[in-house]
Amino acid sequence: MVRRYKTLADGRRQILGFSIPGDWIASSLGEEFSFSADAVDAVRAYSFTRDSVIALLVGQPEVLARFHDLAHAELAAAEEHMLLLGRRRSEEKIACFLLTMRERWARLGKRSVTVHLPMCRRDIADYLGVSMETVSRTLARFARDGIILLVPEGVRLLDTGSLEQLSGLEVSTK
């Protein structure tokens, strides 16, 4: 897993996202990246030059369409993250995070009640815009309430219905 982040002049950090196997770390074709990235656990990464990616996109319309889909998915995820940061309460943020990570791992064929979370609590806090203590307290409360079980490799989801309810997620196009 790779964490993508920006650090402010005063040292505060915002985690922009976590890349899992199969993700593009950056789909921008710009000259420079606008963020930093580092590995949270073991990673195999491939690097492509800007020119080679452009040549591939120009020469293969189906790859261009897939690249467009990736960019659209990144934009949609960024919009959801803005909503999460700006309007969701702490417990909603943490419930959303757990459900989203479960969904992302499942897309890789890793369907499990255990959500693999190799990042530390500080990383989760910096991603969700809450304190590390809030992450720890909320996860402990979810565990006490029988919604999750904290395990060495992450979190085991015991009651996804309650977690979905706590997340505040609802289907809406408004």
Mean pLDDT over all residues of the chain?
89
The pLDDT of residue 154 is 95
The pLDDT of residue 28 is 60
Residues 27-84: tens digit of each pLDDT: 566 667 788 899 999 999 888 888 888 888 898 999 889 888 888 888 888 898 999 9
pTM value is 0.86
The pLDDT of residue 117 is 96
- Which 3-state string (H, E, C) describes 93-157? HHHHHHHHHHHHHHHCCCCCCEEECCCCHHHHHHHHCCCHHHHHHHHHHHHHCCCEEEECCEEEE
Q: What is the CATH number of domain 2-167?
A: 1.10.10.10
Higher pLDDT, 46 or 138: 138
- Does residue 166 carry a pLDDT above 70? yes
DSSP string, 27-56: ---SSS-SSEEEESS--------HHHHHHH
The pLDDT of residue 31 is 66
Q: Which residues pair with 37 in a beta bridge?
A: 4
The pLDDT of residue 47 is 83
The pLDDT of residue 174 is 43
User: Under DSSP, is residue 166 helix (H, G, I), strand (E, B) or coil?
Assistant: helix
Nearest to 67 by CA among 84, 48, 83, 86: 48
Q: What is the mean pLDDT of residues 99-107?
A: 91
- AA letter at 14: Q
- Does residue 108 carry a pLDDT above 90? no
**Token representation of residue 53:** 């990616």
The pLDDT of residue 123 is 98
